[in-house]
Structure 1
Amino acid sequence: MGAEQPNNPLHGKTLEFIVKQLVWHYGWPELGLLVRIDCFQNNPSLKSSLKFLRKTDWARKKVEKLYLNTFH
């Protein structure tokens, strides 16, 4: 499986890992300003954020882009 996406920097990283890293780095308030989605701004939690991001492609792409810009 590792040979399928050798140039994908997100390969092997779960959405939960990505969100946890961003929350650790920025905190919920700043993350809510950087990625303007309701689940980061109003009563944020890891569970609600993951639920929303898993079913909302455009929001997940924004979070993944922020992760790449922050840590790579």
Structure 2
Amino acid sequence: MESQPNNPLHGIKLATIVEELQKHYGWDGLADRININCFKSNPTIKSSLKFLRKTPWAREKVERLYLKTDFK
């Protein structure tokens, strides 16, 4: 595995990102911040991960929100 010192998400799984954001904001809060149906219509971690893994633009938005969220 190669080192990625300039990638702040290196080593963080997408599942972890979605779980942490969901705990922090809730599904309604995520839907308010990122307007995608996987957070609006019967959201689950599993269905959200399935959508985000095949939709790069949506995944990028989720990763950006994760990076700017203060979880403290």
Measured against the shorter chain, the TM-score band is over 0.9
Partners of 1:20 and 1:71 in 2: how far apart?
A: 15
Structure 2: any 5+ residue segments left out of the alignment? Answer: none
Aligned 1:1-72 pairs, distance under 5 A: 1=1, 4-71=3-70
Structure 2-normalised TM-score?
A: 0.92
Query: Aligned letter for 1:46?
Result: I
Q: State the Cα RMSD in Å.
A: 1.4
- Return the alpha-carbon distance in structure 1 between the equivalents of residues 4 and 66 of structure 2: 18
- Which portions of structure 1, spanning 4 or more consecutive aligned residues, are displaced by more than 2 angstroms? none
* 3-state DSSP of counterpart to 1:27: helix
Q: Cα distance, 1:71 vs. partner?
A: 3.6
Question: How many residues are treated as equivalent by the alignment?
Answer: 71
**Once the two structures are aligned, what percentage of the paired residues are identical?**
61
